[in-house]
Structure 1
Amino acid sequence: MTRAGRVRANGTRLVAAARRAVAAGRRRSTVLSELWRRSLQLRVVVSTLALGSAVVFVLGIVLQNQITGRLIAAKEEAAVQQTRAAVEIAERELVGISLDSEVVRNRLTSARNRLTSLSPDSSAGAFEPVLVNDDKGMARDQVSFAGDYDAVPVSLREFVLSDPRRTATQIYTVERQNSRITYLIVGAPVSALSTTLPLQLYMLYPLTAEQSTISTEQSTLVVGGLVLLLLLAGITNLVTRQVVLPVRRAARAAERFANGELDERMVVVGEDDVARLAQSYNEMAESIEHQIRQLEEFGQLQRRFTSDVSHELRTPLTTVRMAADVLHASRAQFPAGLSRSTELLVDELDRFESLLGDLLEISRLDAGVEDLVAEYADVRAIARRAVESVRVIARNVGTEIVLDLPEEEVTAEVESRRVERILRNLLANAIDHGEGRPVELRMAMSADAIAVTVRDHGVGLRPGEAELVFNRFWRADPSRNRQTGGTGLGLAISLEDARLHGGGLDAWGERGHGACFRLTLPRMARDEYGESPLPLPPEDYTADADVAIEAGSVDAGAEEVRS
């Protein structure tokens, strides 16, 4: 491999590693954010730690400033007192000093040695004296001094020279032998008798001990603050846990209760607020369980009553049917009014029989006794049979049914009778509300699901009605005359049939743009499936498409069934 190739390969590996690191960081961030949202205990502990850290930090700064200020003030007070005592000694040592520079330097050195031999004050500590013969306007080479005069800052020299009656102090750091030493420097004028020489004494007190004390104090504050925060976190976690754990137990009990475990109760311990919460929850659960049991019993009685009444009505209905058939067969011998009455009687008996059949069917579905007898079938053939079953109804209202079916087989594990009933109900509903405009039945499939949509271009649905159309005996417009003579249970039964397959039935509609019902079924009965193969709202939901359909135009590839 060439060098350029190796560089590109290394660059690719680096980019991949960076992407993996970014992805890992995002996953960790997602986990932490999820934990932060879900855990009240974590939020309380972190918030308490944040506030506690701020309090400890402010308190540490205040304590450090107070301790440092007191140390420096005590050091400065002792240093000033010792400096004044040293000034008196220097004044005695420098009595009668002459103007000769060599004599001045020797006398200053002698006086400095005398000061150095003194025992330092215990409160002020060790010191380094510097005696200087200096005045304003004197050149640097004219200044006589004994000690490290260069360690004295210029600002302090100028202040002492400007006001020879006051003692001045300054903290200053001096570079010595690759080390930095901080001094408290006290400067004071020296008034020797029988001389007019301007003399100054500077006492350099090292702050090493004070710095060590401050460093120890800082370390103590940091360690104490960390220990305090850890104790605060532990105490907060313990206190929060005592509150959160009962809440979590209540949440778990509520979840199990919502999942159907109606005998789930909380343990009542003590007489505190949490115990009263558990007792209140148990009382609420007891009341809800009692009401649910009553509703279940009432529902069972209602279903049993509906089933029994439907069964009991079949015998007299059969007798009435036989008599009506005899009358209907002889209607040619009756007068015109009586003949029409026999026809109406037969029609209403047909509707009554359909209503009884639907009531029995929905009673069995409610009772959960219906079983799915599924087998592999071509759903296209089921759709064609459903279209044939509503041919007469469509012809009566002048509705065209447009089929858009795939060319290949659409096989699925379904119960043909139930799927055909679903499609028949959807087609009859679309014809009834389609205002004579074309009704489209479209089918599509994916790897795990099939979908069938029935689209009309009639009155449509108002907002919120798409969630009500599957309710039993619900009608969008009670004053509207039905064309199909339905029982009001067709869509409710269709929804239960779809759920029995493990699928779903959805509705969409808009006023003036018609409605569309979508049936989605898994390829394997009761299997999980992903997205439905057909969208809802339908793809042709545009004003132009509706105008084209009103004009009677259809797709060239669609199969048109004229009824």
Structure 2
Amino acid sequence: MTRTARRSPLGVPTPRVGRRVLRPVRRMLTFWRRSLQARVVASIVLLTVLASGAVGWVLLEQTRTGLLNHRVDVVVSEVADEVADAQSRLSAASGIDVDSSGQRRDLVEPIIQRGLTRGFDVVMVGPVGGSSGRIADGGAEYTPDLDTRSVPTSLEEHFASDSALPAWTYTAIRDRDGRTVPGVAVGSQVVLPADGRTYTLYFLFPLDQEQETLALVTRGLLLAAGLLLILMAVAAWLVARQVVTPVRLARRVAERLAAGQLEQRMQVSGEDDLARLAVSFNQMATNLQNQIRQLEELSRVQRRFSSDVSHELRTPLTTVRMAADMLHDARNTFDPATARAAELLQTELDRFEGLLVDLLEISRFDAGAAILDLEDVDLVTVARRVGEQHATLAAAQGVELTVIEPGHACIAEVDVRRVERVLRNLVSNAIDHAKESDRIEVRVASDDHAAAVAVRDHGVGLAPGETAMVFNRFWRADPARDRSSGGTGLGLAIALEDAHLHGGWLQAWGRPGQGAQFRLTLPRHAGAVLRHSPLPLVPADAAEAREVS
């Protein structure tokens, strides 16, 4: 079955079609954001377009003004010659010739004929005076096929009196077929001896040649601008490529260095600034490689030292433990001071043995030798068992310890020994940092993909920035604070490694005076990738959670 794009009743494409249309746009935007070369070329091309447009506009205006001024000068001079020739012919006319119509025809017809051969049109109107002298009044004589509306009204108004000086203006010359060309209209007045009246002559000169010249110049400028644009784009691309290519190579080498390929280096060619940059980059990479190798060697030596010391201390610790146990069992036969010393020795040996066990566990994590013994476990049962183990300690501190169960089993494929160790550490820390009469909640939840356990206390809390440091080895928020449950300073570091070994999360939240919450999130199936937690990291009773809700 072929799937077709569905449309709404109004014919608007569905979001699937919209996504298909927007996908190329997103790709272009991504390319634009990531390509320095494209932005450089586009910027230079844009500046070239703006510069070419400004220069071309100035050149066209200068050319247009020069062509029109020259044409106007020529036209005014030619009109002056025609009017002077007409005046001389009128002066030579017989004084007894009183036929004004014939004299008018004799005046205008030669001018019209010369206009037909020399490319200008003529309109003669008059006599001027009173309300007459307008073309619309009729009686005008003009070049055949000329539309007399070509004479501008403003020029007619100028010659409304019989003493007006010659004048000119721009106009649009029309013929009877409706064709229009730009032109120059020049007006002048003459007096007929036959009737002594004043008549107006309008000369219309087309600007089609100037228009063609300006169009030719415009095409030349556009062609030159196009060629310049292409040349600038190619030049910008080549220059940007010369600069961006080494930068791209440096980026690739930097990415490989960040991925752990410390032997990667840039190729050096030439002696310019980019070559010197490559040399400096390679020197930096070499120094970093040496420093990282030194740190790795130091870390390896440190881990081996911790492991060797932990193993070597087990034998003397066993011997001291046997002697301490004998002294502790016989403490009732000693004087009070000696008996107290035997008890303190037993307590400190217990703490020292716990520290040794934690150091051995840390060395296993550092060596990558820690493995999981996976089985399907109900985290509700584990949380309940940890709560029962710490009930006596919580009661001694005056703290109420509560396990909040979801009402159903939370089965996950985990190493029960490691998960129980994490929860014991979280609960004992919560008891140590809780205030008297406070309540500690151990909350368990799960969904189809993950299971989580959150331990919430209402004690001193954590200052800003301490949520990331709390998992560091031997770090304590308050070194002077007494711990009722002992502790070695490695508990949360081991708990974090146990969580990571499961592919899970161990996260902390805290605010001064509002307490803290630690959340352990584990995938329900080994090897699954965590994407969320069924429990919030910020507890619901926290101030910021109430503000959000």
| TM-score in terms of structure 1 length | 0.87
Q: Tell me how far apart the structure 1 counterparts of residues 253 and 184 of structure 2 sit (CA, whole Å).
A: 71
SS in 1 for 2:381: helix
Which amino acid is the alignment partner of residue 421 of structure 2?
R
Change (3 A) 1:482 1:168: same
Q: Tell me how far apart the structure 2 counterparts of residues 155 and 482 of structure 1 sit (CA, whole Å).
A: 106
Q: CA deviation at 1:180?
A: 1.7
Change (3 A) 1:220 1:164: farther
Q: Which range is displaced more, 533-542 or 378-387?
A: 378-387
Which amino acid is the alignment partner of residue 472 of structure 1?
R
Which amino acid is the alignment partner of residue 500 of structure 1?
L
Task: Report whether the alignment pairs 1:14 with 2:15.
Answer: no
Q: Tell me how far apart the structure 1 counterparts of residues 446 and 527 of structure 2 sit (CA, whole Å).
A: 16
Aligned residues: 530
Q: Tell me how far apart the structure 2 counterparts of residues 475 and 108 of structure 1 sit (CA, whole Å).
A: 118
Conserved? CA contact 2:128–2:162, under 8 Å: no
Conserved? CA contact 2:400–2:439, under 8 Å: yes
Aligned counterpart for 2:59 among listed residues 46, 63, 87: 63
Identity %: 45
Q: Which range is displaced more, 241-250 or 17-26?
A: 17-26
Quote the residue 2:404 is aligned against: 404
Change (3 A) 1:543 1:181: closer
Quote the residue 1:465 is aligned against: 466
Change (3 A) 1:449 1:114: closer
Residue segments in structure 1 that go unaligned for 5+ positions in a row: 1-9, 121-125, 546-563
Task: Report whether the alignment pairs 1:271 with 2:267.
Answer: no
SS in 1 for 2:209: helix
Q: Which range is displaced more, 458-467 or 308-317?
A: 458-467
| TM-score in terms of structure 2 length | 0.89
Change (3 A) 1:226 1:163: farther
Conserved? CA contact 1:94–1:107, under 8 Å: no
Q: Tell me how far apart the structure 2 counterparts of residues 348 and 19 of structure 1 sit (CA, whole Å).
A: 69
Conserved? CA contact 1:115–1:129, under 8 Å: no
Q: Tell me how far apart the structure 2 counterparts of residues 496 and 348 of structure 1 sit (CA, whole Å).
A: 26
SS in 2 for 1:349: helix
Q: Tell me how far apart the structure 2 counterparts of residues 26 and 146 of structure 1 sit (CA, whole Å).
A: 65
Q: CA deviation at 1:31?
A: 4.0
- CA deviations on 1:122-169 (whole Å, 9 max, x unpaired) are xxxx21233344324252547553435543223223334558574322
Conserved? CA contact 1:473–1:488, under 8 Å: yes
Q: Tell me how far apart the structure 1 counterparts of residues 267 and 499 of structure 2 sit (CA, whole Å).
A: 42
Change (3 A) 1:481 1:168: same
Which amino acid is the alignment partner of residue 109 of structure 2?
S
- CA deviations on 1:331-375 (whole Å, 9 max, x unpaired) are 222222222221211111111110001001111112222122322
Aligned counterpart for 1:74 among listed residues 70, 75, 91: 70
Q: CA deviation at 1:402?
A: 0.6
Q: Tell me how far apart the structure 2 counterparts of residues 100 and 255 of structure 1 sit (CA, whole Å).
A: 104
SS in 1 for 2:8: helix
Change (3 A) 1:362 1:127: same
- CA deviations on 1:508-561 (whole Å, 9 max, x unpaired) are 11122111100111112232122211112111225999xxxxxxxxxxxxxxxx
Q: Tell me how far apart the structure 2 counterparts of residues 53 and 262 of structure 1 sit (CA, whole Å).
A: 46
Q: Tell me how far apart the structure 2 counterparts of residues 76 and 163 of structure 1 sit (CA, whole Å).
A: 24
SS in 2 for 1:14: coil
Q: Which range is displaced more, 369-378 or 89-98?
A: 89-98
Q: CA deviation at 1:108?
A: 3.4
Quote the residue 1:561 is aligned against: none
Conserved? CA contact 1:89–1:115, under 8 Å: no
Q: CA deviation at 1:460?
A: 1.2
Conserved? CA contact 1:104–1:144, under 8 Å: no
Q: Tell me how far apart the structure 1 counterparts of residues 435 and 455 of structure 2 sit (CA, whole Å).
A: 15
Q: CA deviation at 1:271?
A: 0.6
Conserved? CA contact 1:410–1:445, under 8 Å: yes
Aligned positions of 1:292-371 closer than 5 A = 292-371=292-371
Residue segments in structure 2 that go unaligned for 5+ positions in a row: 1-5
Change (3 A) 1:136 1:232: farther
Conserved? CA contact 1:443–1:453, under 8 Å: yes
Which amino acid is the alignment partner of residue 312 of structure 1?
E
Change (3 A) 1:253 1:134: farther
Which amino acid is the alignment partner of residue 476 of structure 2?
R
SS in 2 for 1:205: strand
Which amino acid is the alignment partner of residue 388 of structure 1?
E
Quote the residue 2:169 is aligned against: 170
Q: Which range is displaced more, 294-303 or 53-62?
A: 53-62
Conserved? CA contact 1:112–1:130, under 8 Å: no
Change (3 A) 1:171 1:349: same
Conserved? CA contact 1:182–1:206, under 8 Å: yes
Change (3 A) 1:108 1:356: same
Change (3 A) 1:173 1:346: same
